[in-house]
């Protein structure tokens, strides 16, 4: 059977690659065409467009790049028509994917959505479009099932969180091997996870690196995004206390003492590695002013949202400054903080539903598509 997958970000590439592996296990003859990244490309199928050409951060940035976005939608529709898939699998990325879903539903293609748009955070009115255009929804956060089924009477499948699979299945290097291969010394490590888009990396790394001189007994290591070249990060490497590695975030987290993390999927990844973290977020003034008026959540990190309490500290916009980052980083490096945090992290992992999200989702999709074909 023929599957068309659309993932528009680094996290979507990760989850898409694991989903593809499971689809191939369920359907050995699967023909997959996709928008994604290197991880999906290395799994198989045919890459149409890389997510590095799709991601725009913030409201203002989307407006400024609207022409490019609309052109990508046009390209995507034409490619889908040519491929004629049995089903389209959308992975998050709602601004783009919901437009395609509306169109593809009208022409009779079966729509599956893996990793729900965060309509519980903002744009809840999208539920009308989801009910109309999405045939099957697979959610990965425990509270999403009640949100869809109890509040909006739309049946969904809670499949667990794919990060658990991704972390368990990663290629592991020993701590000493990892340090030696990447030129790291014996000092404890503070991981810096500034995001995957150039706009957010530039903004967040400047804030993260502003505290380096206060912690000479540590080495700070930037986790480079696979979508960005080393040359982009080079200007940030102004001291021997700051190192850089690319596309090895999980190995980095496995040997770190603490982390400074830009809000997003990385906050949850860090928690699943049981690493103390401070969550940082800073956008352009215009984007932030718009966001705070339309997003009504109590928290911005997935860790706190899932636990429904402040487990990890969040420093947002004006609070995201050198003084506050220094204070909070000092706090999370203490043993008392780490011991208390570990209990919350263990509870968080239980709430996420255990391993097997990719396999469960692939099995349900293949079964649904097979039923249509019969």
Q: What is the pLDDT of residue 373?
A: 56
Indicate the pLDDT class of residue 5, thresholds 50, 70 and 90: very high
The model's pLDDT over 120-167, given as tens digits with 9 standing for 90+, comes to 988 899 999 999 999 999 999 999 999 999 999 999 999 999 999 889
Q: What is the pLDDT of residue 261?
A: 98
Q: What is the pLDDT of residue 134?
A: 98
Average pLDDT over residues 4-14: 92
The model's pLDDT over 301-360, given as tens digits with 9 standing for 90+, comes to 999 999 999 999 999 989 999 999 999 999 999 988 988 899 999 999 999 988 899 999
β-pairing, 242-246 vs 219-224, is parallel
Average pLDDT over residues 162-183: 87
Q: What is the pLDDT of residue 170?
A: 83
Average pLDDT over residues 19-30: 96
Q: Is the pTM of this model over 0.85?
A: no
Indicate the pLDDT class of residue 21, thresholds 50, 70 and 90: very high
Average pLDDT over residues 177-188: 92
Q: What percent of the chain has pLDDT over 70?
A: 93
Helix or strand (DSSP H, E) at 357: helix 357-373
Q: What is the pLDDT of residue 374?
A: 45
Domains of the chain: 2-160+356-373 (3.40.50.2000), 170-351 (3.40.50.2000)
Q: Is the pLDDT of residue 173 over 80?
A: no
The model's pLDDT over 107-119, given as tens digits with 9 standing for 90+, comes to 999 999 999 998 9
**DSSP states of 283-303:** --HHHHHHHHHH---S-SSHH
Average pLDDT over residues 176-204: 91
Helix or strand (DSSP H, E) at 114: strand 110-114
User: 3-class SS at 110?
Assistant: strand
- CA separation for the pair 349, 352 (Å, rounded): 5
Average pLDDT over residues 296-304: 87
Helix or strand (DSSP H, E) at 244: strand 242-246
Q: What is the pLDDT of residue 247?
A: 87
Q: Is the pLDDT of residue 95 over 90?
A: no
Q: What is the pLDDT of residue 168?
A: 85
Q: What is the pLDDT of residue 226?
A: 81
The model's pLDDT over 39-75, given as tens digits with 9 standing for 90+, comes to 999 999 999 999 987 765 555 555 556 677 788 999 9
Average pLDDT over residues 173-195: 91
State the chain's mean pLDDT as an integer. Answer: 91
The model's pLDDT over 263-292, given as tens digits with 9 standing for 90+, comes to 888 999 999 999 999 999 987 656 656 666
**DSSP states of 48-69:** EEEGGGT---SHHHHHHTHHHH
The residues near 325 (Cβ < 8 Å, ≥ 6 apart) are: 207, 208, 210, 211, 260, 278, 280, 315
Burial class (CB in 10 A: 0-12, 13-18, 19+), 2: middle
Q: What is the pLDDT of residue 157?
A: 97
3-state SS of 1-36 is CEEEEEECCHHHHHHHHHHHHHHHHHCCCCEEEEEE
The residues near 324 (Cβ < 8 Å, ≥ 6 apart) are: 315
Higher per-residue confidence, 175 vs 349: 349
- CA separation for the pair 372, 374 (Å, rounded): 5
């Amino acid at each position: 059977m023929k599957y068309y997958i659309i993932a528009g970000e680094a996290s979507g590439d990760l989850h898409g690659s694991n989903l593809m592996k499971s689809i191939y296990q369920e359907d050995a003859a699967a023909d997959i065409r996709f928008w994604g990244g290197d991880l999906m490309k290395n799994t198989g199928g045919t890459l149409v467009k890389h997510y590095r050409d799709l991601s725009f951060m913030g409201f203002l940035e989307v407006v400024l790049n609207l022409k490019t976005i609309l052109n990508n939608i046009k390209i995507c529709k034409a490619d889908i028509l040519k491929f004629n898939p049995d089903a389209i699998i959308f992975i998050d990325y709602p601004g783009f994917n919901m437009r395609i879903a509306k169109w593809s539903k009208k022409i009779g293609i079966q729509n599956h959505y893996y990793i729900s748009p965060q309509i519980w955070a903002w744009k809840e009115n999208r539920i009308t479009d989801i009910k109309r255009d999405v045939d099957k929804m697979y959610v990965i956060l425990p509270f999403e099932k009640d949100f869809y089924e109890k509040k909006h009477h739309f049946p969904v499948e809670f499949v667990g969180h794919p990060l658990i699979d991704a972390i368990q299945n990663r290629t592991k290097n020993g701590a000493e091997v990892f340090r030696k291969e990447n030129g790291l010394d014996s000092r404890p490590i503070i991981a810096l996870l500034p995001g995957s888009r150039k706009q957010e990396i530039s903004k967040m790394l400047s804030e993260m690196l502003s505290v380096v001189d206060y912690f000479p007994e540590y080495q700070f290591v930037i986790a480079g995004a696979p979508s960005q070249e080393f040359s982009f990060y080079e200007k940030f490497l102004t001291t021997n206390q700051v190192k850089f590695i690319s596309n090895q975030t999980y190995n980095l987290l496995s040997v770190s003492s603490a982390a400074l993390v830009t809000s997003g999927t990385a906050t949850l990844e860090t928690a699943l590695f049981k690493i103390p973290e401070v969550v940082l977020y800073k956008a352009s003034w215009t984007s932030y002013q718009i966001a705070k008026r339309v997003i009504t959540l109590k928290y911005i990190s997935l860790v706190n949202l899932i636990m429904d309490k402040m487990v990890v500290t969040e420093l947002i916009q004006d609070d995201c400054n050198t003084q506050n980052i220094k204070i909070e980083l000092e706090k999370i490096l203490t043993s008392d903080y780490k011991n208390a945090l570990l209990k919350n992290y263990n509870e968080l992992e239980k709430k996420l539903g255990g391993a097997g999200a990719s396999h469960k989702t692939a099995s349900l999709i293949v079964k649904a598509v097979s039923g249509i074909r019969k």
